[in-house]
Structure 1
Amino acid sequence: MNARETATIAPAPIVSVKPVTLEAPGRGDDLRVRVSAPVTGTDLPIIVLSHGFGSSLDGYGPLADFWAAHGFAVIQPTHLDSRTVGLAQDDPRTPRIWRYRVEDMKRVLDRLDLLESAVPGLSGRLDRSRIAAAGHSFGGQTAGNLLGLRVLDPVSGEGEDLSDSRVGAGVLIATAGKGGPDLTPYAAEHFPFMNPDFANMTTPALVVAGDKDDLPLSVRGPEWLTDPYFLSPGDKSLLTLFGGEHSLGGIAGYEARETTDENPERVALVQRATWAYLRHALGIEDAAWTAVRKELAESTAPLGRIESR
């Protein structure tokens, strides 16, 4: 079996409901959520997907639709930094945007009953023992917080433990590395929360990075985005995508304008690899993940490479 055959579950039609509104006292705006799931199947594992800066519950269709069509329930909160919220730069919540994002993810997990009941036919079909957190860019740091990543205060150097024991695995896509001197002066001034510590990020995770993702946030170039893999303990895997820029071929949305490296084959690899990894890490089955790794290792023209420890 090769990687193009790893999606051995035939894609199912999916149902998607949006927005499901969760009351969020103290947030200033209620939390709007999208829930997607296959119309068939039981014991559906759950992925909570955190969007990148400015996106919303409408983003990341290439990932959310694929995951849902292949057996996952996918829940997408809209964070306060979304362009659809329109938060002013001088809003008093702005300095704590990163923290509100983590609270959004936890609120989703706290309200699974309501979210499940909002989708026709979904009631009783979720497997709450198998939950993953995933995110792209800023969303990768948000998901990482639930895995044990800590955001260090730039003054005290201390970070609060915001991990969540309900989350059994993660996927961190194009996620920022270390802060401090690794940041450009602009990033250090405007994004003080971009100061992660990975030393306690023990939950199993797949880190996905493009080797051409040269963000203007770090002085280190694309290898900065591999820090979540190299600086965290425990079971981790790294998928490096050859030629991949920040949208990794187009995962942020169908025909999304921010995609600078449009490449359907690269998107397909991200779909397959993340799906297979989560089935492996959540204890569902290992064959698909083994097949993806084997295909990339044996290909004469691979789209990327996978390393694990």
Structure 2
Amino acid sequence: QHSRRFKTADWLMSQTKHRPQVAIICGSGLGMLADTLKCQDSFTYSDIPGFPQSTVQGHAGRLVFGELKGKTCVCMQGRFHMYEGHSLCKTTFPVRVFKLMGVETLIVTNAAGSLADGLQPGDIMIIKDHVNFPGMVGLNPLCGPNDDKFGPRFPAMSGCYDKALRCSAMEIAKQLGVAGLTQEGVYAMVGGPNFETIAEARLLHRLGVDAVGMSTAPEVVVATHCGLRVFGLSLITNKVVKSYEDSDSVNHEGVLEVGRLRSHTVQQLVTELVSRMEINNNNDTNNAV
């Protein structure tokens, strides 16, 4: 894996003059953010040496480099999931490639189901913390020999979602007039690909989880391990069914539809957040926005 990451990073750096400072992983139905980048260089995943392939509808499968508000960014249009049969080493492979290319900040977006009564479809949840269920039972991208070049054997995860970036995002939501749709919350990752049973949804809710999805935690764990600043947000696309009397059920098409309806707002919020970021060229990852 180590030499493959270097090979991939070297190949990308030979194909584009862009040297990204910010990486953005676009979740289901949110890939259009990449289309707004200026001076684009884009690569289909299948053309990138060593890169995994995405197989999910709503995930385009392209890496797009370009300028966003004067900052050099790279966007993943389509991410990799455990439920596609990828190992967690593969799902997080791009994060370490980004680190090798000089990225300092990772922005992760996803589509999630709401467990909190105060979160409705179309709302935006800024992730303040996560519960990584696969990680708790040993499905962790950091399993195996530790690569000391990236980070320590036992990395702390207590502050993995950068507080200054979260505060900045809440300010931006106010200025965009969407503060009423935006709140902070806890995201839980489950393995998928099935949506949760009612008993599972009730369990998660009781544990203090606000929204649930099938991605994000592995990328955040690896990003935190290698010293990247992380900002995460979930677009709430559906209410998770918590009652046996409820006849509603969720499907992926409905998830993508909410993604399309709210994508412009998410795009504005992320664009403005990138615009306000201070980029450090000294790799001081503790620096605030």
Normalised TM-score (structure 1): 0.35
Q: Considering fraction of residues, name the structure with more helix.
A: 2
Considering Cα pairs closer than 8 Å and 6+ residues apart, tell me whether 1 or 2 has the greater RCO.
2
